[in-house]
Amino acid sequence: MIWLRSIIYYLTLALLALSVGAIWGAAAGWALACVLLALSVLFHLHNLGRLHRWTQQPRVDNVPASFLLWQDVFDRLYAQVRLQKKSQDKLTNTLERFTSAGEALPDGVIVLDEHDRIEWCNRTAMQHLSIDRTTDVWQVLTHIVRHPSLREYLRTQDFAHPLILRTTRPAERVLSVQLVPFDSTRKLLLSRDITRLDRVQTVHRDFIANVSHELRTPLTVVSGFAETLMDMPEMDAATRTQQLGLMVEQTQRMQRLVDDLLTLSRLENGQQLKEEEVDVPQLMRLLQAEAEGLSQGRHRVAVAQLATTRLIGNHDELHSALSNLVSNAIRYTPAGGGITLSWLVEDGQPVFAVSDTGIGISPEHIPRLTERFYRVDRSRSRTTGGTGLGLAIVKHILQRHQAELAIDSKPGTGSRFAVRFPAHRLLPD
Ligand code: ADP
């Protein structure tokens, strides 16, 4: 205890002065007492000064050292400061860990105070909402992100559901924004980029609308004819046969659509490609025979530049993709035109191509041809038995074979659809 040690210290000084006084007289004793007291005061003042200086730069490594009573004081001070430094380091470490975890989150995080001012935000939030951390901290969020729906969301204080925010700056994005209050005053604003999900949902909605639309027309025709047949039992045989023929045609159209939809769905299920050795000349003969069958003598069908190659791929899928291209060439080429099939090896890569002298395609349509149900001329596609899914199926199959489709076309002159396979699919002859 410091006070006990102080008493002992001063009693020792007094005892020393008394002893000197007893031996050399009272004057000598008082003189010694005065000197000792003066030295004590100087000692205290000196250490007090050092302590004062230390408080101006209080660090662990510059705590002063001394002796006697002050040694005890400085030792305790050192122990305290060290302990404090340790817990401060620990706190800083924890804070840094939380900050890096916040930074690493794939979602945007903004900490808002009670007045909706930005206290902190991570990098993702900066990118999502175009916030500049160096200038925008302590600014009201809605002054930085000027979006009426966000202002309304914060105003209504109903945070049960996320807000869907469509941003144009810094990029066109769809964000799902959710506010989570986390203590009595502060809130977390979480933002998630759902652009892709939103796109997928739109594609899904469009797809269902398209399928319904495609099925509605033949269904209306079939049910219309069926009702007529029921209402007019005395209909003459020729009209009856004609109407039944039209009904069969429409049912076949629905059948083709359902078949194509099933093919697409099978391909999209992403089952692994069953690879085998495909005999290309045999496949080309099959395609030529099918083309001639479809054309029924209305076109010149030729096979040119047939390199005898073998390919690694799936025979049935490749047959389905290439015959789609061949059937399109026939369907979009008026009678009297020509269709040429070719199989060559260019720069070590096998290339299948089908050229026609048909109606051709304007350049603005070309990038969209492989979209489901995209047609340049809807009625021509329908009258020739098209479903609008052929090239979408082709695209999927080619992707599974890492092949690329190149379309060259000129309206009124003709088209060339070329499929370029990667070199590793080619087997040496
Ligand atoms: P469809 O069943 O309508 O033929 P596809 O997906 O096979 O559907 O083709 C999409 C569209 O691409 C067609 O509707 C047609 O407008 C165009 N197209 C495809 N191949 C050709 C071609 N060889 N010549 C002209 N247009 C073509």
pLDDT tens, residue by residue, 156-195: 888 889 999 998 877 899 999 999 998 888 999 999 999 9
Helix (H) or strand (E) segment spanning residue 53: helix 26-56
β-pairing, 187-193 vs 173-181, is antiparallel
Locus of tokens 């941003």? 167
Q: Ligand 1 centroid vs 342 CA: distance in angstroms?
A: 19
What is the SS3 assignment for 418? Answer: strand
pLDDT computed for residue 91 by the predictor: 95
Ligand 1 lined by 375 (C-beta under 6 Å): yes
User: Percent of the chain at pLDDT above 70?
Assistant: 100
- What is the pTM (predicted TM-score) of this model? 0.70
Nearest-10 crossing angle of helices 26-56, 2-24: 150
Q: Ligand 1 centroid vs 418 CA: distance in angstroms?
A: 14
Gap between the Cα atoms of 54 and 66, Å rounded? 13
Ligand 1 lined by 108 (C-beta under 6 Å): no
Q: Ligand 1 centroid vs 326 CA: distance in angstroms?
A: 11
Mean confidence (pLDDT) of the chain: 92
On whether the 105-193 domain is CATH 3.40.190.290, my answer is no
- CATH for 205-268, options being 1.10.287.130, 1.10.150.240, 3.40.50.10440, 3.30.559.30: 1.10.287.130
> Is the link from the previous residue into 170 a cis peptide, with omega within 30 of 0?
yes
Q: Cα angle at 180 between 177 and 186, to 5 degrees? A: 120
Residue ID of nearest Cα to ligand 1 atom 19: 328
Ligand 1 lined by 193 (C-beta under 6 Å): no
Ligand 1 lined by 387 (C-beta under 6 Å): yes
245: Cα within 13 Å, side-chain hemisphere = 6
Where in 70-141 does DSSP place strands (E)?
108-112, 118-121
Residue ID of nearest Cα to ligand 1 atom 8: 388
| Phi-psi category of residue 67: left, alpha or beta, with phi > 0 → left and psi -120 to 50 → alpha | beta
Residue 213 in tokens: 């639309």
Mean pLDDT of 402-406: 97
Ligand 1 lined by 333 (C-beta under 6 Å): no
Sequence-distant (6+) residues with CB within 8 A of 159 are 153, 178, 179, 180, 181
pLDDT computed for residue 183 by the predictor: 84
Ligand 1 lined by 361 (C-beta under 6 Å): yes
Residue ID of nearest Cα to ligand 1 atom 13: 375
Q: Ligand 1 centroid vs 73 CA: distance in angstroms?
A: 93
Ligand 1 atom at minimum distance from 386 CA: 2
The CA-atom distances, in angstroms, between 383 and each of 250, 378, 379, 387 are 11, 9, 6, 10
Asked whether the beta carbons of 420 and 356 are under 8 A apart, the reply is: no
For a ligand 1 pocket test, name from 332, 377, 416 the mutation site with the most ligand atoms within 8 angstroms of its C-beta: 332
Q: Ligand 1 centroid vs 375 CA: distance in angstroms?
A: 6
Question: What are the tens digits of pLDDT across the range 339-394?
Answer: 999 999 999 899 999 999 999 999 999 999 999 999 998 888 888 888 999 999 99
| Phi-psi category of residue 347: left, alpha or beta, with phi > 0 → left and psi -120 to 50 → alpha | left
Question: What are the tens digits of pLDDT across the range 272-306?
Answer: 889 999 999 999 999 999 999 999 999 999 998 77
What is the SS3 assignment for 263? Answer: helix
Q: Ligand 1 centroid vs 328 CA: distance in angstroms?
A: 6
pLDDT computed for residue 395 by the predictor: 96
Ligand 1 lined by 414 (C-beta under 6 Å): no
Question: What are the tens digits of pLDDT across the range 39-78?
Answer: 999 999 999 999 999 999 999 899 999 888 899 899 999 9
Residue 206 in tokens: 């469009």
Ligand 1 lined by 369 (C-beta under 6 Å): yes
Q: Which residues pair with 291 in a beta bridge?
A: none
| Secondary structure percentages of the chain, helix, strand, coil, to 5 | 55, 20, 25
Residue ID of nearest Cα to ligand 1 atom 10: 375
Ligand 1 lined by 339 (C-beta under 6 Å): no
Gap between the Cα atoms of 293 and 75, Å rounded? 103
Domain boundaries, the chain: 2-99, 105-193, 205-268, 276-427
Ligand 1 lined by 386 (C-beta under 6 Å): yes
β-pairing, 310-313 vs 276-279, is antiparallel
* CATH class label, 276-427: alpha beta
Ligand 1 lined by 391 (C-beta under 6 Å): yes
Ligand 1 atom at minimum distance from 359 CA: 25
Gap between the Cα atoms of 137 and 415, Å rounded? 59
Task: Classify residue 240 by its DSSP letter.
Answer: H
Asked whether the beta carbons of 386 and 375 are under 8 A apart, the reply is: yes
Q: Ligand 1 centroid vs 121 CA: distance in angstroms?
A: 50
pLDDT computed for residue 236 by the predictor: 87
The CA-atom distances, in angstroms, between 207 and each of 56, 213, 371, 391 are 73, 10, 10, 15
Gap between the Cα atoms of 429 and 425, Å rounded? 13
Q: Ligand 1 centroid vs 163 CA: distance in angstroms?
A: 41
